[in-house]
Amino acid sequence: MRKKIAAGNWKMNNTKAEAEALAKAISAVEIPEDTEVILGVPFVFLSAVKEITAGSKVQVAAQNCHQEESGAYTGEISAPMLTSIDIDYVILGHSERREYFGEDNALLAAKVDAALKAGLKVIFCCGEPLNIREEETHVSYVKKQLQEGLFHLSEAALDDIIIAYEPIWAIGTGVTASKEQAQDMHKEIRDMIAANYGATAAGKMHILYGGSVKPGNATELFGQEDVDGGLVGGASLKAADFTAIIQA
């Protein structure tokens, strides 16, 4: 039975004091036995949040990493740097990184390799923009993202991967995919994994939904057979909202 995962992506938000207060509030939450909680934190707060969450069930993720281990890449952070401060996860391929920073599938494949080599687990994001959804080519669009960014890995390496499906048209817009739309796409993704790696690998893969997840829709979204939790943006910045999502 796959655990449910509530992952928060704080993006470029919070001061140090706000980050610490939010981490303390989430660490104090009674987390269900079958639920894992991950906080995606800005680089500058990783150590502080890791210290606060130590001893709790909350794990910490960076929001990005560079594909090289070291070098003359001013302003960048490498995967070995993250593991050196005991970070558990890294989020890669978020739609905002793809759109605003030009990250393509080949670059993301290299980043995935670097993260896994360093001992990080990866939350790998995929998803389609509105025009692709309207053209009804979203399944092939996401398949290409997975094939080129992730499916070069061995089956064993998939144990350290979580997939987050984000319909870009639903991120921060207030629009949410219906539970049926979410389930349909998650099932398609699971079928893609099965086609490449077999039914066992597909059955083990955690696939999260990311797109305006809120306390009011979390229960019905997470209740779908192939939806294993959420990658939550705005609602993860409010302790009460994220607590409700964890408990959902």
Average pLDDT over every residue of 201-225: 95
Instruction: Quick: pLDDT tens for 166-201.
Output: 999 887 777 778 999 999 999 999 999 999 999 999
Q: What is the pLDDT of residues 57-90, one digit of tens each?
A: 999 999 999 999 999 999 999 999 999 999 999 9
How many domains does the chain divide into? Answer: 1
pLDDT score, position 212: 85
pLDDT of residue 229: 97
Angle between helix axes 16-27 and 239-247 (nearest 10 degrees) is 30
What stretches of 62-104 show up as alpha helix (H) in DSSP? 79-84, 95-101
**138: CB partners within 8 A, 6+ apart:** 128, 132, 167, 185
Query: In which band, very low, low, confident or very high, does the pLDDT at 1 lie, cut at 50, 70 and 90?
Result: confident
* Catalytic entry in 36, 66, 94, 128: 94
Mean pLDDT across the stretch 202-220? 94
- pLDDT of the residue at 235: 96
Q: What is the pLDDT of residue 149?
A: 98
**8 Å CB contact between 124 and 163:** yes
pLDDT of residue 170: 83
pLDDT of 165 > 90? The answer is yes
Average pLDDT over residues 7-34: 97
Domain that holds residue 94: 4-247
For 99-107, the CB contacts below 8 A with 24+ separation are: 99/168, 105/144, 105/145, 105/148, 105/149, 106/148, 106/149, 107/67
Instruction: Provide the pLDDT for residue 174.
Output: 76
Q: Is 94 a catalytic site residue?
A: yes
pTM above 0.75, yes or no: yes
pLDDT one-digit tens code per residue, 226-246: 999 999 999 999 999 999 999
Per the CB < 8 A criterion, the answer to whether 127 and 165 are in contact is yes
Mean pLDDT, the chain, as a whole number?
Answer: 96
Q: How confident is the model at residue 15 (pLDDT cuts 50, 70, 90)?
A: very high
CATH number of 94's domain = 3.20.20.70
* Per-residue confidence (pLDDT) for residue 172, from 0 to 100: 73
What pLDDT is attached to residue 175? 73
Q: Which of 36, 96, 128, 166 is catalytic?
A: 166
Q: Can you give the pLDDT at residue 84? A: 98
Please, what's the largest Cα pairwise distance for the chain? 48
Quote the radius of gyration of the chain (alpha carbons, Å): 17
